Structure 1
């Protein structure tokens, strides 16, 4: 019993330290020029994750047509994480730290892009993984939700990024219809386009490892994003 209590305390501490690091990065990047900069290990981990995502090509700048038909000056493709295990592991650790502060019995990956990430997070956080199918199987057991679970289990949704939050809400609806309790969603990147507010209306608290503006600031500070492109993306987000 004492070991389980100690583990729970360690998880809560890790989650708090990660949230503090995220906030510290945001504060430091907007600090006045010349201010002292002493980054913690957690802050450095977040910076390194952002730089690794950019080097992988998971964050690109240009002119892209999104699934909605909207033209965007930035494109985030986290499906590439599966091709770089070391970067996927870094991302999974960041998810796991936030997940430690969320009460849940198991996690659920959003089909299908977030399933590889969900698997990595399950291993990093030692949490059972389930996932809803987009369609009921026409053979075998005909399951709509894969994995082991019981009605009443508390489930935290794992999503790669959130824009409007539509896919996350749809996943929550499927899980809730089966009797599961869904109150939290953990995402790697919040594109800051209304997703968390939409999730809140559906009774879901969103927890993001990174906000898109934080990514812009880190890349800008590292000399990997010029100010003109940064301002273009901020204008697209309505932040300029």
Structure 2
């Protein structure tokens, strides 16, 4: 791992790994919690993550699709760095106004690279990719800040999505050592 990426892993781990008592989504109690929003709301860390994502984008990317909620600030920053337009992808269409699933320009025929903060199983990314494909987008790649998936847990390959990440769970764990 190159020095810049190992320093980024160390800094994100230091900012995001919290100790205390936390109730997890499963209802279990944990003494440690990884709060991803701490790097997404820190402009310096966010810019470093976005800059590390830029070389991972497929060269034919036409639109960046930031997934609600964590992918939106990252996609915005990557858009700012590359000049590529961003699209904000909701978990479900809003029930008022334009009732859109994806906010931004029309995606029909566009090659959209999805941007996500953390992938554990890939379920939300899978749903977004399928929905965008229904709208006519060509979606083949997701670039994420952190891939926390365990072998065999990431469902994205099964729908033809390639996952590329800046960091992995192991890299973050190694940064603590």
**What TM-score do the two structures reach when normalised by structure 2?**
0.87
- 2:114 touches 2:142 (CA, 8 Å); kept in 1? yes
Is 1:52 aligned to 2:24, yes or no? no
Structure-1 residue corresponding to 2:44: 86
Aligned length: 177
Unaligned runs of 5+ in 1: 1-24, 26-42, 221-240
Structure number with the higher strand fraction is: 2
Distance change in 2, residues 1:153/1:219 (3 Å): same
Which entry has the higher C-alpha Rg, 1 or 2?
A: 1
1:111 maps to 2:111 = no
- How do residues 113-152 of structure 1 correspond to structure 2 at under 5 angstroms? 113-152=70-109
Q: Secondary structure at the match of 2:143?
A: strand
Aligned ranges for residues 158-197 of structure 1 at < 5 Å? 158-194=115-151, 197=154
TM-score calculated relative to the size of structure 1: 0.66
1:182 deviates by 0.9
RCO (CA 8 Å, sep 6+): is it higher in 1 or 2?
2
Residues 90-145 of structure 1 show CA distances to partners (whole Å, capped at 9, x for unaligned) of 0110111211x453211101111221111111112222111222343344333221
Unaligned runs of 5+ in 2: none
Deviation of the 1:63 alpha carbon: 6.4
Is 1:163–1:195's contact at 8 Å kept on the other side of the alignment?
A: no
Aligned to 2:162: 205
Taking only aligned residues, the RMSD between alpha carbons, in angstroms, comes to 2.3
CA offset at residue 87 of structure 1? Answer: 1.0
